[in-house]
Amino acid sequence: QRQTSDVRPQTSGKRPNPTIQGTLERVLQRILREPVQVIGSGELGDRGLWIAYELVRGETFAALLKHAQPSITESLKLLAAVLAGLQAIHDAGVLHRDLKPANIMLGRDGVPRILDFGLARPVVREKPLTEVGTALGTAGYMGPETLLGQAPTSATDIYAAGALAFAMLTGQ
C-alpha cells in the first residue's frame, strides 16, 4: 500500500498572483477539509505555490486497477464518490485538469480522495490562467478541447471522469 503527502510546487516560472494564490488556498481548504485536510500552503518565491495535505494511507486507483478490477457495483460506488468530490471542486470554482487513477487515493477507510492539484486553476472567465494552445495533463484523460489547445472548462474534468469510469468498468 502507498502512503502519500502531496507537496508540489506549481512552477510556472512567473511570480504567482496573490489574488489567485489566495483564491486557490481558500477554495482548496473549503473543498478538501472533508475528507482530506490541507495542512498548509504558501509560496516558494519565484517557483510558485505549494500545498501540503494530511498523510492519506491507502492506494491509488491506478494501483488498485493493476492488481484487481472492482466489481461493477463497487466501481459505481467509488465513481459516485469521485463525482461528488469533482462536483464540490467545480462548485468551488476550480478546475482540477489532471483527474486520472494515479491522482485518486482510496483511503483505508474506503473513501476515495482526489489529490494532486498541481495543475488546478480557479475558473476565470475573463482570461485563462494557462495560455491557450498549451496542453497540460495526462493524454489518455485529457478532453478533446485540451488536446486542441483550447481553454479548459469543467467539461475537461468531466471527460476525464468518463475515461476513469471506462478504465474501472472495463479494466482497460
Confidence check: pLDDT of 172 > 90: no
**Band of residue 103 on the pLDDT scale cut at 50, 70, 90:** very high
Across 16-25, 77-86, 117-126, 151-160, the highest mean pLDDT is recorded for 77-86
Neighbouring C-beta atoms of residue 2, cutoff 10 Å: 11
Report helix, strand or coil for 3. strand
Nearest to 1 by CA among 109, 80, 151: 109
**Confidence band of 133 (pLDDT split at 50, 70, 90):** very low
Residue type, 117: F
31-80 residue pLDDT tens: 555 556 667 777 777 766 677 777 888 999 999 999 988 999 999 999 99
Residues contacting residue 102 through CB under 8 Å, at least 6 positions apart: 60, 61, 62, 116, 138
Q: Where are the alpha helices (DSSP H) in the chain?
A: 18-32, 61-67, 72-91, 144-147, 154-170
CB-based burial of residue 172 (10 Å sphere; 0-12 exposed, 13-18 middle, 19+ buried)?
exposed
Catalytic residue set: 98
DSSP conformation class of 45: G
Q: What is the pLDDT of residue 72?
A: 94
Q: Which of the four pLDDT bands, split at 50, 70 and 90, describes residue 128?
A: very low
